[in-house]
Structures are given as structure tokens and as C-alpha cells.
Structure 1
Amino acid sequence: MNYTLESAELTIAVNPIGMELSSIKSKLTGVEYMWQADPTIWKGQAPVLFPIVGALKDGYTLINVEKYEMPKHGLVRNSSKPELIKQTDNCLSFRLTWDQETLQHYPFKFQLEISFILSGKTLEIKHQITNLDNVPMPYFLGGHPAFNCPLLPGEIYEDYRIQFPQQETDSTWLIDEQGLIKNEPKPFIENSNIIPLSKDLFDDDALIFKHLKSKEATLSHKEKGAILTVKFDDFDYLGIWAKPAAPYVCIEPWLGIADSSDSNHEFTKKEGLSLVEPNQSETKSYSIIVV
């Protein structure tokens, strides 16, 4: 059963399985902004990436010389274990806590709480990562929200673009057949704030940006203007992705990225690592703002 929140402008829904955002709908127009998970194309909507982002080389990592296997994007996606812990007029909060099964894949006693806070046309997605262990806990975290694109009948994918508030010059990083990051930056955006969308844009997988100055990205229509903005002040990397020729686009704030193709498997040597001290918490948020 999905849980819902309403403001005067929007209705949102969250699937407790994976603590996954599943709907953002305008109450005025009835327009659905979230991709609705056609399983013949891609069954995800907004998976939570924790405690890794992307793939591990050969499907495993080394933590204190022990080998741990973990699926792509970690342990939260598709998990039926999260529990609803708070429901108010404007907030839904869910919690996933370590257990003996998670320790087999990630040997830390963690607690992950995700709160969905709706105010007007702004949805804040707040992640609280708590270390319940007696040793420092390394982790990675990412969002993966997918938005319908095109949004309305009669539009085409090429009508849309991703826009940044600042002029950007950055490369994207190529991905190999195993989903690992090659050490090959590819110049992509040069003194521009626009990425035009096209059906072949993601033929080589996601666009991965490490050095953007902007901390927000807007999905916009070239004639109708801005549709929605993802703000990600707490996140260092940005992924933009869709399956080739699919009618959606993901705008993905990340803390950390997939393993590099020359990884030595050491978890604590992965790029973008975050660390929580024993019995401490960190909070990381991003927001989706409908224009």
C-alpha cells in the first residue's frame, strides 16, 4: 500500500517497499510528474541508493579484509523491511534498521530514516543516516528519481532539456559493460547551462558529473519553460540517465559513484566516501520543486 501526502497544489505517494517515491501529481491539472514504472521498460521510479551507489567491481567489496557481496545500488532498493514511523499532514517518515541479513552484505549496524516533507510545490526528501555501531561507518548515498518526459500528449523527448543556473564546463565519465567507471573523462558541456535531451543521449549509459558548480538541475520545455527543479546542496555528484529512447529522465543526486574499472575492491578507498562516527547521525537532503 502506498502512503500519500497532499498540499494545496500537489499529491505525492510513497511506496514503503524501498521507501520509494512513486507519484508527484498536480491537483490543478492532474499531470503526473513521476515515471510510472512500466516494467517492459524500467520498473524503477526513485530507488534509494545505500550503502553504495552503482555497481561494485565483480559484485563484491572488501571491508576489513573480508569479502562482502552487494547488488547494484545497495540494500534498500526493493526491500520490504522499511517501516512507517511517522505520518502527519505534511510528512511521511520511514525507517530501515540493520539486521543479521544486512550484516552479511554490509557489516555495520546502521539505521536509515527517510522523511518526505511536502510544502506547497516543494517536496524535501531527507535522509538521516545513523551509525549504531562502535566503529566509524563508511557509506554512500544517492537519489534516483525518474520524471515523465515528455510530460504531455503531442510533445516529444527532444522538446526537453536539463538546465543549470550557472554556466558549466564539465566532462562525463564513461561506463564499461559491467557498470564500472572508466578513468576516461569525456568532455561534454562547455560554458553552457543547457543539456538538450535526445533519444540517443544515454546510448552509452548515464551522464556522470563530478565538478558542477550548480547545485540544482531543472527539467524544462524549450518553449514552455521550467517544469521542475531538483536541488541537491548536500550531494557532490550528479547523474542523469534514462534507458535509451525511454519516455523519462532521471536526475540523480549522489554522494559517491560506482567502482572504477581498476578498483582494488577496498570499500574505504572508493571515491566519494562518507563516514559517520559511532553513535552519530548525518542528514542529507534533496528537494523536488514543481514550477
Structure 2
Amino acid sequence: MFTLENTLLTLSIHPTGAELQKISAVKNNLEFMWNGNPDVWSGHAPNLFPIVGELKEGRFLYDHTAYNLPRHGFARHSDAFEISDKSSNHLTFTLLYSEETLAVYPFKFEFSVKYELIVNRIKITYSVKNRDDKTIYFSVGGHPAFKCPLYPDENYDDYNLRFEHPETSQTHLLNLKTGLFTSKTETVFNSPETIHLTAHLFDKDALVFKDLKSRKITLESKKHGAILDFNFEDFPFLGIWAKPNANFVCIEPWQGLADSENSSQILKEKEGIVALEKDKTYNASYTIQIHESHLV
């Protein structure tokens, strides 16, 4: 486990998947992230690459050849990340293509995850470098899970997600058996700016938004006020998810989406896919800012 620490926060990052597993308050020991209980969901904050979500029939097509990838790609379970840069306030983990990755994803890449601790804010930056002699195609995203409730005098339904702008966006519904998008949508906002967390909010799987006006969400408690701000300016899509009846909520910034039921499976045609030319680099960041009232 690797750590970053200042006077307010401690971050713990596991080298497998370069996964952020803890955000802890230094002074009062509050833990802001889900503990990864394997009986419920073993993840903490998986990094999603080179796809986001499920592929139709578990495969994509590139140059008339089929390749199989698991949901959310291979990076989140990879033991091949190495520390490529570090200082007192940041750590960068890098995954380089290999014969193993080329067998399932036919592109030469360099995928990096950088964690920066800046006072009470954590900045996570994804970088993808094209190391191939052709255009490469990929998606990338985050999947951090935040503890709800945070305090012992609260319940899950004491929490809301508050959006910075009034929203009219609807969630795009998934087929629960296949994980693919159907053509159906549904309204989930309790008011133009809020989604109320309940035990059954995620009975139909993740809430997925493609056209939000907001690029900041606040996780707030009715009893203890705003807990954290989540900024995702570099990402066009957002997922919100938890296991039903679980004590966490995932706020997931995505550049990419699961396939739809009528997908062609052709990677170049995949919704949200990034086409990165030879020698180019893609960067996208999101931030988590813990309100200081919870750090004293």
C-alpha cells in the first residue's frame, strides 16, 4: 500500500489497479470511502480502462477481428502498474501495454493514474499515451465509492446528492441480465437539483446520465451538512451506483459507456469512444474535496 498525507488527510492507494482505497481524516480518523467488504462489494475506487461498462456478448470488433474484454476492462485488476513519478503530494502509477494486453486489446498504450493531495482536495488524473503506429480507441473512467452514512447517528436515507444546476436529465436504463443499455429512460430526480439516496434507488442497476448540465455534485447529509464536493468537468457521462441496501454510493465520471442492445460491436463506432492519434496524449481529471467541517 502507498500513502499520501498532509495535515488534514491521508490517502491509501493499492498497487493492484492503482486503486484508491482510503481517504482518512488525520485529526478525527473519519473514513470517507467504502471499506470494500467482499460480502457486499469488494471494490473501493476501480480505475476503468480500456472500456467502461459491459460489451455486447463480452466482445468488440476491430479490423474484422473479435476481442474479449470483461466489464470495465482489465486495468482495475492489473498487477502490472508501476510507480512512474512521486513527490510529497503526488503519486503516479503507470500501466504499459504487454503481450498479455495485446492479446485482448490490440493497441500499444501507456495508461497512467495520478493522485494529487492538495490541502483538503484529491485530484485524480487519467493519462493515455498512444505508443502505437496507428490510432488507438479507448474509454476511461472512475468508480469511487463513498461511505454513507458517515456518522453513527445517521441512516442511508439521510443523504442526498445535490447537483450544481437544475437538471432535466433522465437515467438510461440497463438490461439487468446483460448489462447493456435498452432504449428506455426514467426520471429519478426528486427535485431539479437533488437525488435522494434510498435502499431501493439502485434496484434497476446504475443511474446513468448522458446530458447533465452540472459538473459538480455535493454529497450531503441532512444532519451533518455537505460532506464532499465531486467535480468532473473533463467527463461527458456520469454513473451513480450502489449495491441495493449497501452503505455506500459510487459517483462515477466516465468517458465512455456500456454497449447498447443494438450495438454493432465495432469499437470505432462505440458511443463515447476516444480516438487517439499516434504520438498524442489524452488527459482527464476529476476531484474530490472534503468539507473541512468533517476534518476537525
TM-score, reference length from structure 1: 0.98
Does the Cα contact within 8 Å between 1:162 and 1:197 map onto a contact in 2? Answer: yes
**Structure 1 vs Structure 2: percent identity of aligned residues?**
42
Question: Which structure shows the bigger proportion of residues in strand conformation?
Answer: 1
* Cα distance in 1 for residues equivalent to 2:73 and 2:97: 13
* Cα distance in 1 for residues equivalent to 2:10 and 2:190: 38
Could you tell me which amino acid in structure 1 is paired with residue 143 of structure 2? Answer: H
Could you tell me which amino acid in structure 2 is paired with residue 230 of structure 1? Answer: F
Could you tell me which amino acid in structure 1 is paired with residue 113 of structure 2? Answer: I
* Cα distance in 1 for residues equivalent to 2:187 and 2:117: 37
Shift of 1:282: 1.1
**Equivalent position of 2:26 in the other structure:** 27
Does the Cα contact within 8 Å between 2:190 and 2:196 map onto a contact in 1? Answer: no
Could you tell me which amino acid in structure 1 is paired with residue 151 of structure 2? Answer: L
**Equivalent position of 1:282 in the other structure:** 282
Matched residue SS, 2:288: strand
1:1-291, aligned counterparts within 5 Å?
2-176=1-175, 177-189=177-189, 192-291=192-291
* Cα distance in 2 for residues equivalent to 1:216 and 1:274: 23
Does the Cα contact within 8 Å between 1:9 and 1:28 map onto a contact in 2? Answer: yes
Matched residue SS, 1:128: strand
Matched residue SS, 2:286: strand
Shift of 1:188: 2.8
Could you tell me which amino acid in structure 2 is paired with residue 4 of structure 1? Answer: T
Shift of 1:117: 0.4
Shift of 1:191: 6.0
Structure 1 stretches (4+) deviating beyond 4 angstroms? none
Could you tell me which amino acid in structure 2 is paired with residue 263 of structure 1? Answer: S
* Cα distance in 1 for residues equivalent to 2:190 and 2:15: 41
Shift of 1:223: 3.1
Could you tell me which amino acid in structure 2 is paired with residue 42 of structure 1? Answer: W
TM-score, reference length from structure 2: 0.96
Shift of 1:64: 1.0
Does the Cα contact within 8 Å between 2:154 and 2:223 map onto a contact in 1? Answer: no
**Unaligned runs of at least 5 residues, structure 1:** none
Shift of 1:190: 7.4
Shift of 1:32: 0.3
**Unaligned runs of at least 5 residues, structure 2:** 292-296
**Equivalent position of 2:294 in the other structure:** none
Shift of 1:75: 1.3
* Cα distance in 2 for residues equivalent to 1:277 and 1:124: 26
* Cα distance in 2 for residues equivalent to 1:159 and 1:278: 49
* Cα distance in 2 for residues equivalent to 1:7 and 1:236: 31
Structure 1 residues 164-217: Cα deviation after superposition (integer angstroms, max 9, x where no partner):
111111110111011111111223337611100000000010000111100011
* Cα distance in 1 for residues equivalent to 2:212 and 2:280: 29
